[in-house]
Amino acid sequence: MLHDLERAEAAWGICAAKVDAIVDCQEDAERVQAKKP
């Protein structure tokens, strides 16, 4: 059961990193759009 918990926590961490990358990308795109005349 401990192994399953460790796998779930690892997957959660991977998912969180992907979400962070998506948010960063969206924020960058919004900054670029805001600079356009």
Distance CA 24, CA 16 (A): 12
The whole-number pLDDT of residue 37 equals 76
Distance CA 35, CA 17 (A): 27
1-37 pLDDT, tens digit per residue, is 889 999 999 999 999 999 999 999 999 999 999 997 7
